[in-house]
Structures are given as C-alpha cells and as structure tokens.
C-alpha cells in the first residue's frame, strides 16, 4: 500500500490503523498468556498421576508418625510431598517416593529416574529441576548436589523449553535417602502424602488405609478431583485481553462504514470501467490486509519495546500462528460492511467524483 494511496483517505485509514493496533496488542498479549497457561497445565499434568489423592496426617500425641502405618501400599505409589530440605542458600520442598509400585509418569528433560538397582542398593541419587543448576557441582564426570550438607548424585533433570513450572521440582526415592534424612522423616508429627496411580483407584486405596491408622493420628483428606483443580486454570487475564480485542474489532467494523463511504467515488468509477464486485472486493481486501499487516508489525514492536523497558515478558512466539489466524479472521469481519455497501453503490455515483483518481 503506497503512502500516497494511504493519504488519499487519511481519516478512515488512521482510525482503522489505531483501532487495529489496539486490537492486535490485546490479542498478542491474550494469546501469549493463553499459550503459556496451557503449556504450564500440560507440564503440571506430566508430574501427576491419572488417579491421585493428597492426605495431611498429623499426630495428636507426642509420638511421631510411623511411615509404615500411613504410607505403605502394595498397589499404588505413595509420596511424601512438601518436605523441606536446605539446598545452597535456600530451603526447598521436595517429593520423596515411599511406596514405589509402578513407574511414575514423570517427564525428564534429560537423564533417568532412579533404577531398581539404585533403589535396591540404596544409592544416594536425586532428580532435580533446572532451577537448581547453580547448586550442582561436578566431580570427575559425575554431577552432585548437597541437601542439608549431604551429597547426592544428580542423575536427571526436570525442565521444559515451553514452561518453567517443572524447574524447581526435586524428586527422591526413600530407599535412596541418606540415613540422616530417613531419621528426620521418622521424627515428624505432620506429613503430607500423595497417593497416586495411573492404573488403580487411589481413592479406594486411601479409604482402606484410613481404617487401619493408629487412633492418635488425625488426617485431612483431599480427593483427586479437588486436587486436580490445583492445576493452573487461571484464564482470566487472557480473557480480559480478548475482550479488549473484541471491543476494538467492533469499533473497526463501525469505522469501516466511514472507510467505505470515503471510497464511494472510487468504487463507482471501478464499476463504470467494468470491474466486477468480486474484483473490487479483492482490491479493498488487499487494502485492509495491508493496513492490518502494518498494524500487526507496529503491535509486535510496541510489545517487544515494553518488554525491553520493563523486563515483563508478555509475548510467546509459539502463539504467533493463533495471532495470524485471528488477524485474517479480523480482516474478513472488518470487510463485511464494505462488501454489503459495494452492492448498493451505483456507477452513476462517479458523476460527483472529487477527481482524486
């Protein structure tokens, strides 16, 4: 689209251009947030079982909890979760597999989970998220990390190219713990346990367990359905952006009434020289698409400039395809009014032409 042609209709083009920039900034931000949330949901599900429940156990007496009373299962996996250990400068929460009856569906970015040989031999190994890389050190060809000052070999890393939700996860198997950490676990009066399986009914297993726990042990039970709701489901922010987009596009559709009115003489002349409505629509669509592409480019530049200034990353380029599809759909919506108007414009209208052609 030439500058001269743009200047021929400065009012409608300028309003359309500004409206589209607002719409595209909104849809870029909205689609980026939507894509990020969906990726995080997918990553979180990679660290969950198909069936699971979480139970908080606590002792009402001075006695410590006995793991063999509350965490033993022959059919499903039982994990101690949200257990604190110090790593470097920080205290981190870790997950510890206690009853290990099936392979967990945890997705590693690199390395392996503890093998049966590691578990049977009580080898001090651990899987960590990539956030802990600064605390990992190398001796020979082997990577190690210290928890509460005790050295463990790192055999695999959690992480994803698309999300950082797995980057802070720390995963142990109970048999692979140092005696010091086993001793700490044996002296707890409160523990959070996660019961999970990809094949068996975790709720049924937990319900059976409740009938056999000691009388001094109390518990609060959270079923699998409630626990699954903890997975990120917050789409409110992206919906706000899409509402702004929808409003801006509605404004652009209204502006298209002005846009087509400014072009009535041109359309009348094109009809006079024999161009069909289809060919005229193609020309107008090319004009709108040109304005939209320029608006999209300016929108991305504005969003990236915002990121450079504030450090707040609001663009996920994996959502670009969605943005492109919405842009094309937007151009069709904005062109609906002009198409309907074109049919009503008579060639005789060119008699009053302003002579701009």
Q: What is the pLDDT of residues 40-56, one digit of tens each?
A: 666 666 667 777 778 88
Give residues with Cβ within 8 angstroms of 68, minimum separation 6: none
* Residue 206 predicted with pLDDT over 80: no
Please report the pLDDT score of residue 147 as a whole number: 95
For the segment 237-263, what is each residue's pLDDT rounded down to a tens digit?
Answer: 667 777 777 777 777 777 777 777 777
Question: Residue 156 pairs with which residues in a beta bridge?
Answer: 111, 127
Both tokens of residue 97? 């597999």
Please report the pLDDT score of residue 161 as a whole number: 63
For residue 117, what pLDDT band results from cuts at 50, 70 and 90? very high
For the segment 58-86, what is each residue's pLDDT rounded down to a tens digit?
Answer: 888 878 888 888 877 778 888 888 888 99
Please report the pLDDT score of residue 8 as a whole number: 64
* Residue 203 predicted with pLDDT over 70: yes
For the segment 2-35, what is each residue's pLDDT rounded down to a tens digit?
Answer: 434 545 667 777 877 888 888 878 877 777 777 7
Both tokens of residue 181? 């950490």
What distance lies between CA 341 and its chain's CA centroid?
42
* Residue 227 predicted with pLDDT over 70: no
Please report the pLDDT score of residue 56 as a whole number: 84
Domain boundaries of the chain, sorted by first residue = 3-42+233-352, 49-228
Residues 174 and 129 sit within 8 Å (Cβ to Cβ): no
* Residue 149 predicted with pLDDT over 90: yes
H helical segments located in the chain: 3-8, 10-45, 67-70, 116-121, 179-185, 202-210, 224-228, 236-261, 264-272, 277-310, 320-342
DSSP codes, 21-55? HHHHHHHHHHHHHHHHHHHHHHHHHTTS-SEEEEE
To the question of pTM greater than 0.85 for the whole model, the response is no
Give residues with Cβ within 8 angstroms of 65, minimum separation 6: 57, 58, 59, 188, 189, 190, 191, 217
Count CB-CB contacts under 10 A for residue 110. Answer: 10
Both tokens of residue 307? 């990121």
Please report the pLDDT score of residue 182 as a whole number: 92
Count CB-CB contacts under 10 A for residue 235. Answer: 14
Please report the pLDDT score of residue 198 as a whole number: 76
Residues 232 and 44 sit within 8 Å (Cβ to Cβ): yes
């Amino acid at each position: 689209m030439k500058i001269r042609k743009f200047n021929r209709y400065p009012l409608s083009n300028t309003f359309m251009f500004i409206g589209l920039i607002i719409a595209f900034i909104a849809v870029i931000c909205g689609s980026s947030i939507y894509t990020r949330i969906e990726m995080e949901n997918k990553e979180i599900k990679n660290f969950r079982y198909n069936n699971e429940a979480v139970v908080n156990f606590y002792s009402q007496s001075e006695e410590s909890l006995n793991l063999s009373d509350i965490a033993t299962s022959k059919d499903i996996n039982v994990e101690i979760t949200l257990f604190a250990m110090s790593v470097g400068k920080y205290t981190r929460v870790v997950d510890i597999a206690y009853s290990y009856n099936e392979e967990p569906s945890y997705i590693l970015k690199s390395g392996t989970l503890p093998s049966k040989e590691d578990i049977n031999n009580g080898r001090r190994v651990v899987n960590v998220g990539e956030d802990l890389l600064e605390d990992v050190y190398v001796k020979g060809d082997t990577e190690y990390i210290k928890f509460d000052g005790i050295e463990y070999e790192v055999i695999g890393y959690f992480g994803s190219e698309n999300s950082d939700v797995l980057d802070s996860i720390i995963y142990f198997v109970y048999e692979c713990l140092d005696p010091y950490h086993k001793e700490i676990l044996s002296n707890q009066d409160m523990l959070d346990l996660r019961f999970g399986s990809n094949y068996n009914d975790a709720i049924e297993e937990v319900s059976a367990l409740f009938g056999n726990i000691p009388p001094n042990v109390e518990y609060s039970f959270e079923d699998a359905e409630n626990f699954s709701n903890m997975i990120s489901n917050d789409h409110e922010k992206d919906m706000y952006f899409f509402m702004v987009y929808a409003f801006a596009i509605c404004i652009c559709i209204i502006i298209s009434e002005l846009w087509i009115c400014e072009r009535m003489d041109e359309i009348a002349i094109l009809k006079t020289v024999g161009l069909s409505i289809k060919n005229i629509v193609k020309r107008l669509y090319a004009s709108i698409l040109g304005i939209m592409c320029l608006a999209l480019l300016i929108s991305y530049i504005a969003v990236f400039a915002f990121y450079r200034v504030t450090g707040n990353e609001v663009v996920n380029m994996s959502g670009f395809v969605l943005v492109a599809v919405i842009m094309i759909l937007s151009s069709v919506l904005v062109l609906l009014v002009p198409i309907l108007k074109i049919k009503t414009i008579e060639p005789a209208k060119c008699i009053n032409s302003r002579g701009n052609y």
